[in-house]
Structures are given as structure tokens and as C-alpha cells.
Amino acid sequence: MMNWKKSSAVLMICTSMLCNTMFLNVVAAQEITRSNMNAYDPFADDEVVVEDNLTMKERLAKIKEEERQKISGSTIDGVLPGHVYIPKGTKLKVELVNAANSKTHKKNQEVDIKIIDNLIVNGVVVIPKDTLGKAYVYEAQKAGGFGRKGVSKIAGKEIKTVNNIAVPLKKGIIGMGNTDGGAVAVAAAVSLVGGLFMKGSNIDYPAGTDFEVEVRENVDLQATQENLEEVMTSNVPHGIEIQVVTN
């Protein structure tokens, strides 16, 4: 009788601890969700800019851009009249330069990517094959006890054209490990310690893993169709040019 009572007491304690753990995890998840409600989501189909969250610098930049477009008479967001551009939503195939996984890679950590094929605009290569770019870990969770699976979302960040214009990116790759919910539930009911040893699996991305990203906004190539090929010639020096007067 005593053993039964002790066993019941242990089971109740374990159950209580498990419930508290689950409750704390739910609360933590809700806090994360609330904190990210107004954050930019690179995996969303449409980007929503929350005006209240713009810094003063971002507000001034937005006003300046709107005024520039009015003066220039631009009919396409961010593009001067007559200029060739990379349209928003253009899909690019890229691959990881180095391996990444949900165990070691942290949120916001940058990772190197490279474009798999040439990006050709109006017959001219503007981003050559194998050009390096940047992506970042948008979300990361390593595998843990009670079968918690690893999660890793890697989003495109930026890649540059031949003439050094930054092309902002979004979308990317989403990977999740495995978990056995049924086995975890049984282990948790029998023993809290036992549940801790029921590990989920991490997600691994080998070097060379390919995925698709999108151009986040229209990108003015600072060239017209007439001089696009000249501007995008790789053997022509590109960069900041200054004139120095000598004595």
C-alpha cells in the first residue's frame, strides 16, 4: 500500500512539473509571438511596413524617396524613368556555400550563399553565376528533450550586381527535424527524467543545399538599355570615383 502511495505521489509530482514546463513554454512562445508581431517576416508573401515602428532615420529616408520619385516622374517604385531594373519578386536559385544546422547556427547568424545561374536582364548578365551573397538564420531552435525537434529557417539577405548595386532578398529554406509525439507522451507520463532523454532530431543543411530566394523590391540598375551592357562589363572598373587636383 505504501509503495502504491509513493508511486502515486511521484507520478503527481512529475505530472505537475511537466504541466508547469509546458505552461512556461507556452508563455514563452506567446511572448516571442507578441514581440515579433510587427517584425519583418522574410517568408511572408507580402511585406507589411508598420509605420509606428519606423525610426526617425527610416521615416526621413521614406519621405526623401517619395519626393525623389515625384521630382523624377518615376512610374515604377524605386526606378528612374528609362532605367533598366530587376523587378520585385524575381526568383533566384542559390545554394549554401558552407554547411548549416539547427544545433550550431543561431538566430540572425549570417551564412554565405552563391547564385547558381546567371541573372540576365534584357540580354545582359547583371549577376554572374557563382556570385556570392548573404543569407541569415531567421529562426533557429535546436533539438531537445521531450522530442523537441530542431528548426532552422534561412532567409536570403543580399547579393550584388556586377556594378556593385545591392539587391535585397527575401524567402529561403525552412527545415524541421523529427519527433515522436506518442513515445514522448508515454515517457513523460511515466517519468519526467525519461522524457528528457527522448530527443528530437536536428535539421542539417549540407554545403551545396540549393533553394529559392526572391528579390525583395524593385532594384534600379543605374543604367539605360543603351548603356546597360557597358555598365555590366566586368572588366570595367566599378566603384567610387574621385578627382584629385595636383599642384
Structure confidence at residue 15 as a pLDDT band (50, 70, 90): low
Lowest-confidence pick of 122-126, 147-151, 228-232: 147-151
Question: Residue 244: its pLDDT value, please?
Answer: 84
Longest Cα pair distance anywhere in the chain, in angstroms? 104
Which of these, 203, 196, 197, 148, lies nearest to 173 by C-alpha position? 203
168: which residues sit within 8 A by CB, 6+ positions away?
Answer: 157, 158, 215, 216, 217, 219
Q: Higher model confidence: residue 170 or residue 144?
A: 170
222 and 121 Cβ atoms separated by less than 8 Å: no
Cβ burial of 63 (10 Å; 0-12, 13-18, 19+) is exposed
Cα angle at 175 between 169 and 181, to 5 degrees?
150
pLDDT in tens, 47-105: 544 455 667 777 777 777 666 665 555 567 889 999 999 999 999 999 999 999 888 88
On the question of pLDDT at 165 being above 70, the answer is yes
Structure confidence at residue 234 as a pLDDT band (50, 70, 90): confident
Domains (range + CATH), the chain: 38-230 (2.40.128.260)
pTM over 0.85: no
Cα angle at 226 between 213 and 161, to 5 degrees?
25
On the question of pLDDT at 170 being above 60, the answer is yes
Report the distance separating Cα 92 and Cα 99, nearest Å.
Answer: 20
C-alpha cell at 66: 517619395
Q: Read off the pLDDT of each residue in 14-18 and give the average, rounded to a whole number.
A: 51
Q: Which residues make beta-bridge pairs with 219? A: 86
Handedness of CA 53, 58, 60, 61 (dihedral sign): negative
- DSSP one-letter code for 14: H
pLDDT in tens, 184-216: 444 445 454 444 455 667 888 899 999 999 999
137 and 104 Cβ atoms separated by less than 8 Å: no
Report the distance separating Cα 206 and Cα 52, nearest Å.
Answer: 40
Structure confidence at residue 4 as a pLDDT band (50, 70, 90): low
What integer best gives the mean pLDDT of the chain? 75
Question: Residue 82: its pLDDT value, please?
Answer: 92
106 and 136 Cβ atoms separated by less than 8 Å: no
3-state DSSP call for residue 231? helix
- DSSP one-letter code for 72: H
